[in-house]
Amino acid sequence: MRKGEETRAKILDAAEAAVLAKGFGGTSIDELIVETGITKSGFFYHFRDKNELAKALLERYIENDERIYDEIFGRARELADDPLQAFLIGLKLLAELLSDLPNGHPGCLVATMCTQERAFDREIQEMNRQAALMWRRRFAAMFRDIMQVYRPREALDADQLADMVSTVLEGGIVLSKALKEPQSLPDQLLVFRSFVRLLFQPAA
């Protein structure tokens, strides 16, 4: 990584930690300059203003989540041809990954920016919306594949089930932070995994 790229990444790392800790409005450019040890002109070389910083943060966060989902659920499909088993394995692998975070999940930038969306312009609000829709499409496609093989015990919509994945993850982050119990997040994911297994289990 070149020096300019390293500096940009350093700014984004510091900004992400600050935003997750105290919100975007509570994060100042001056504190990021002090934290990263760069000059003010150095900061503005990489980011024209705070809104451009927010956009870069969100883009990086979404790309990283997509990479993790690609790796985990891609690995799950390699381990099982059956779409239901592959999905269950993917949830298990994701729960194991989250369990390995020593201090728990740091928080979700998408959720943070949604709850503070009045601080951002329409472009960033739309990026947030598109990220949620992208994850809906990803998981809905998996549920539709499952429904080609298994009939659910309740007539549930694939999009609604897909949204539950995001709901469990985001809710689990909030719960784990409120309780100060990092394991709550992967535990909730495993409860959802059990629900999916039961949903597609043939009736006795």
d(CA 134, CA 66): 9
| DSSP letter string, 16-45 | HHHHHHH-STT--HHHHHHHHT--HHHHHH
| CATH 1.10.10 for domain 1-47 | yes
How confident is the model at residue 52, as a pLDDT? 92
Q: What average pLDDT does this structure show over 158-186?
A: 93
d(CA 175, CA 123): 29
d(CA 9, CA 3): 10
Which backbone phi and psi does 202 adopt, to 5 degrees? -60, 140
Range with top average pLDDT, 14-23, 44-53, 64-73:
64-73
pLDDT at 2 over 80: no
**CATH fold of the domain at 59-200:** Tetracycline Repressor; domain 2 (1.10.357)
Confidence of residue 33 (pLDDT cuts 50, 70, 90): very high
CA atoms 16, 104, 124, 141: torsion sign: positive
Q: What is the pTM of this model?
A: 0.88
- The pLDDT tens digits for 64-87 are 999 999 999 999 999 999 999 999
d(CA 135, CA 67): 12
C-alpha distances in Å from residue 152, one per residue of 79, 85, 203: 23, 14, 9
How confident is the model at residue 117, as a pLDDT? 63
Going by C-alpha positions, the residue among 21, 6, 17, 11 that lies closest to residue 52 is 11
Which residue would you say has higher pLDDT here, 113 or 24?
Answer: 24
The SS3 call for residue 106 is coil
- The pLDDT tens digits for 94-152 are 999 999 876 778 888 877 777 776 767 788 888 888 999 999 999 999 999 999 999 99
Q: Which ranges in the chain are annotated with CATH 1.10.10?
A: 1-47
Q: Which ranges in the chain are annotated with CATH 1.10.357.10?
A: 59-200
pLDDT at 203 over 70: no
Confidence of residue 89 (pLDDT cuts 50, 70, 90): very high
